[in-house]
Chains A and B, each alone.
Chain A
Amino acid sequence: MSGLVATLKGICSEREGRLGLAFTCLILVFALAGPLVSPDPNVIDVKARFAAPGLAHLLGTDNLGRDLLARTSAGTRYALTLAVMIVVISSVIGSLIGIVAGIAGGWVDRAVTAVFDIVNAFPPLILAFALIALYGKGSATFVLLVTVVFIPQFGRMARARAQTLRNLSFIEAERMLAVHPVTIVVRHYLPNVAGPIIVLASMNLPVVIAFEASLSFLGFGVQPPKSSLGTLIKDGFISINQSWWPTVASALVLAIATLGATLLGEALRRVIDPKTAGVR
């Protein structure tokens, strides 16, 4: 708990960190409080389509007369959920693969590195495109496929850390004492890899949020009736000649979310891993 407080203090010690925290909280409150202040996001009221922002609908309505505040809030909630899931899954899998490669060395290491290199040879959006086109849409598939795109980054980081750890004397000592390898990994590797991985994960969160939005905008991500920020921007964009407001609202929320998450991630890196902090 005191660690959390210290981290928060560190984040707030600089203006960028405070700004990041403020934006992130704003987005979280917006995402979570939507259902409290606004009606059901899927209620259709065709008579009220393309209503301007007003008392009945604070953010106006879309092409089917659905309340945009409720829809944008629900979309933000879903987009954030997906992004966090993708980052968590890819960082866990990436760390495990990276640690194994770093400890094993030899051909295992070379094979893993080669696969990472090959995956990285694809521009991320293009790889996700190809995978989703071939293996289908749907939220679960989507999360898994995007995870594949992000695993190598975490894997490389964990591998590099594991390699430096492997040769340290206290780990060698435990090996001599015949401590079970899994015990060594759990007791020493995981805690030592965790710091940089958490930093990398927080830096990647805004990237994944933008990534999800782009894919959903293009129709490869979240599928109706579910909606995320990307699908909202798409829906707005299709009827942009009737009403520009829906597009701008969801685009702004997306921009604030990525800006807040980036500033917060930078601040977190400054606190946890001051050595690597610097220019992005």
Chain B
Amino acid sequence: MSRSQRTAAFIAGRLASVVLTIAGATLLLFLMVRLVPGDFTSVMLGPRATPELRAQITHDMGLDRSMLEQLWLFTSRAATGDFGEDVVSHRPILDIVLDVIPNTLALAFSALALALVVGIPIGVIAALRPGSWLDNGLALLSISLITTPTLVVSVILFLIFAIGLHWLPVAGAGDPGDLVDRLRHLILPSVALALGWVGYISRLVRAALLDTLAELHVRTLRAYGVSEYRIVGLYALKLALVPVVSILGIGLGDLIGSSVVVEIIFARPGIGSLIFNSIAQRNFPVVQACVVFIVAFYIVANLVVDMINALLDPRIAAGRG
């Protein structure tokens, strides 16, 4: 097989496994909801359960039909983005979720970008002087950043910059029409979310760069008198970034997960705060839709990352990576 065929086969295999995983996750979610003890309509509706709403839920979700039919109904509707109508606001659940998703995506991607922009240089600086006091200091800083829970970082940032110094806004996502205002509202949450990943990425870059710098082809370059800065900047760093790319998928999933905490602390609308509020109101259809979205996003992000990696490093597609 040629290289491009191998890459294509790899991508096809990954696609198939993605479809299976999403199907499996949907099944698990379905079972989780259906296996809750007690009358299902009461569980779904909580204190809102009136006879009319019970009838609506029973009809909407096909509760009067067999389990298999229900599963099919749920899956086929979820696949087309039809999650039914919210019993609280009487809006389509899809619209409710789509309203808040851009906020969460802006938060997650800006945090990831911030983590890369700050984390990569720290890793490079540490790798250039291994064992120096600077390297040791950066190592301790990175580990502290990694281990400090997002919860702690958010609360401390909130205290210092929003309450203490009044530099940045306390709550919300900002005025929808005002880009500057939105950016100002984004700063604290995205820094809070990014700091842990700054530490993680810098450690990863440092280790990968040290590995690369120890390789034979780098030694050859040195023997030819190529300057160290050229070696790092032009050759080594590119290779050292492969492991960074491969954790970005997990990173995005983790960021979306942690965004719940950040969105609650900074009172920011988003999918995390939507889940939180829906759970508080026992509004499970909305929770279910949010979880489907997050899982699909998580899986697809990992798929995209795998593909980028397969293109960057043909060994991965060949199964030797």
Binding site for B on A (CB under 8 A): 16, 114-115, 117-119, 121-126, 129-131, 133-135, 206, 210, 213-214, 217-220, 230, 233, 237, 240-241, 244, 247-248, 251-252, 254-255, 258-259, 261-263, 278-280
Q: Which residues of A contact B24 (CB under 8 A)?
A: 114-115, 117-118, 121
Binding site for A on B (CB under 8 A): 20-22, 24-25, 27-29, 32-33, 36, 43, 143-144, 146-152, 155-156, 158-159, 163-164, 200, 203-204, 206-207, 253-254, 256-258, 260-261, 264-265, 275-276, 279-280, 284, 287, 291, 294-295, 298-299
Which A residue's beta carbon lies closest to that of B297?
A123
Which B residue's beta carbon lies closest to that of A119?
B28
Interchain CB contact (< 8 A) of B159 among A123, A247, A255, A279: A247
Complex: how many Å from CA A240 to CA B267?
Answer: 14
Complex: how many Å from CA A48 to CA B152?
Answer: 27
Task: For the complex of A and B, list the 10 residue pairs with the smallest distance between their C-beta atoms, beginning with the closest.
Answer: A123-B257, A210-B149, A279-B207, A118-B24, A125-B257, A133-B279, A262-B147, A251-B152, A259-B147, A258-B147
Question: Is there an interface contact between A123 and B254, defined as CB atoms closer than 8 Å?
Answer: yes
Question: Is there an interface contact between B204 and A237, defined as CB atoms closer than 8 Å?
Answer: no
Question: Is there an interface contact between B294 and A248, defined as CB atoms closer than 8 Å?
Answer: no
Which B residue's beta carbon lies closest to that of A266?
B143
Which A residue's beta carbon lies closest to that of B28?
A118
Complex: how many Å from CA A131 to CA B264?
Answer: 19
Complex: how many Å from CA A131 to CA B28?
Answer: 11
Interchain CB contact (< 8 A) of A217 among B28, B207, B261: B261
* 22 intermolecular pairs with C-beta atoms under 8 Å apart: A114-B20, A117-B24, A118-B21, A118-B27, A125-B260, A125-B261, A126-B257, A129-B260, A130-B29, A130-B291, A134-B43, A213-B151, A218-B261, A218-B264, A220-B279, A244-B159, A247-B159, A254-B151, A255-B147, A258-B147, A259-B144, A262-B146
Question: Is there an interface contact between B260 and A206, defined as CB atoms closer than 8 Å?
Answer: no
Complex: how many Å from CA A66 to CA B51?
Answer: 46
Tell me the total A-B contact number using a CB cutoff of 8 A: 132
What 8 additional pairs, Cβ within 8 angstroms, besides A121-B25, A121-B298, A126-B260? A117-B21, A122-B295, A126-B291, A244-B159, A254-B152, A255-B148, A258-B149, A280-B146
Which B residue's beta carbon lies closest to that of A124?
B257
Q: Which residues of B contact A135 (CB under 8 A)?
A: 36
Which B residue's beta carbon lies closest to that of A241?
B163
Complex: how many Å from CA A246 to CA B264?
Answer: 19
Known: A125-B258, A129-B260, A280-B200. A240 touches B159 (CB 8 A): yes
From A118, A121, A122, A210, residue with most partner B Cβ within 10 Å: A121
Q: Which residues of A contact B151 (CB under 8 A)?
A: 210, 213-214, 217, 230, 233, 251, 254
Which A residue's beta carbon lies closest to that of B265?
A237
From A126, A233, A241, A252, residue with most partner B Cβ within 10 Å: A126
Q: How far is the CB of B264 from chain A (nearest CB, A)?
A: 6
Which A residue's beta carbon lies closest to that of B27?
A118
Interchain CB contact (< 8 A) of A280 among B25, B148, B203: B203
Q: How far is the CB of A280 from chain B (nearest CB, A)?
A: 6
Q: Which residues of B contact A278 (CB under 8 A)?
A: 207
Complex: how many Å from CA A206 to CA B151?
Answer: 13
Q: How far is the CB of B302 from chain A (nearest CB, A)?
A: 9
Question: Is there an interface contact between A206 and B147, defined as CB atoms closer than 8 Å?
Answer: yes
Complex: how many Å from CA A247 to CA B163?
Answer: 13
Question: Is there an interface contact between B148 and A218, defined as CB atoms closer than 8 Å?
Answer: no
Complex: how many Å from CA A117 to CA B280?
Answer: 29
Question: Is there an interface contact between B260 and A122, defined as CB atoms closer than 8 Å?
Answer: no
Which A residue's beta carbon lies closest to that of B256?
A123
Complex: how many Å from CA A219 to CA B206?
Answer: 38
Q: Which residues of B contact A237 (CB under 8 A)?
A: 155, 265
Q: Which residues of B contact A255 (CB under 8 A)?
A: 147-149, 152
Q: Which residues of B contact A279 (CB under 8 A)?
A: 203-204, 206-207
Q: Which residues of B contact A244 (CB under 8 A)?
A: 159, 163-164
Which A residue's beta carbon lies closest to that of B164?
A244
Complex: how many Å from CA A19 to CA B294?
Answer: 38
Q: How far is the CB of A124 from chain B (nearest CB, A)?
A: 6
Which B residue's beta carbon lies closest to that of A278?
B207
Interchain CB contact (< 8 A) of A133 among B163, B253, B287, B299: B287
Complex: how many Å from CA A258 to CA B264?
Answer: 22
Question: Is there an interface contact between A247 and B155, defined as CB atoms closer than 8 Å?
Answer: yes
Which B residue's beta carbon lies closest to that of A253?
B152
